[in-house]
Amino acid sequence: MTCTFCQIANGEIPAHIVHRDEEVVAFLDRAPLLPGHVLVMPVRHVETLDDLPDSLLAPVLAAVRRTSVAVQKALGAEGSFVATNTRVSQSVPHLHVHVVPRNKGDGLFSTRLIWQRKKYENDSEMADLATKIKTAYELAR
């Protein structure tokens, strides 16, 4: 079985990368909850958070934190929503953490969590957002 996220991490499938190092890659979700929705994951195939080795905890969570700061700064968001699924509702069996920019009244939550994904209008919109977040990521400490 071929893992789509491993293929992205290995550069076999194009993605709008906002961060990449030896252990972690972060890229725009193709069907975001809100524009600027980023997925952060280990480069190495790890199926779930439960399976993440201790040696990758700090690198992955540090990248999640920096991505949260970056999406807020890059997009002028008031905050962020950070989440991961473990098996149930995990669309790709490769650990990935969702970092979604948030603003009051953005409609992401109502009386229950609503995952209403939307497509970007075009690749140019994705590229522009990825560049903004990548620049902010580099500045986030």
Question: Cα separation of 82 and 124, whole Å?
Answer: 25
User: What pLDDT score was predicted for residue 112?
Assistant: 57
Residue 115, pLDDT > 90, answer: no
Average pLDDT, the chain: 91
For 84-104, what is the mean pLDDT? Answer: 93
Structure tokens at 96: 């990935």
Domains in the chain and their CATH numbers? 4-139 (3.30.428.10)
For the beta carbon of residue 54, count every other beta carbon within 10 angstroms.
6
Query: What's the whole-model pTM score?
Result: 0.84
In the block, residue with structure tokens 């961060």: 19
Q: Which of 16, 37, 96, 98 is catalytic?
A: 96
The CA radius of gyration of the chain, in Å to the nearest whole number, is 14
Digit-coded pLDDT (tens) for 23-72: 999 999 999 999 999 999 999 999 999 999 999 999 999 999 999 999 99
Active site residue 94: no
The predicted structure's pLDDT at residue 91: 87
> Residue holding tokens 């071929």?
2
Cα(129)–Cα(83) distance, rounded to whole angstroms? 20
Q: Are 5 and 17 in contact (CB under 8 A)?
A: no
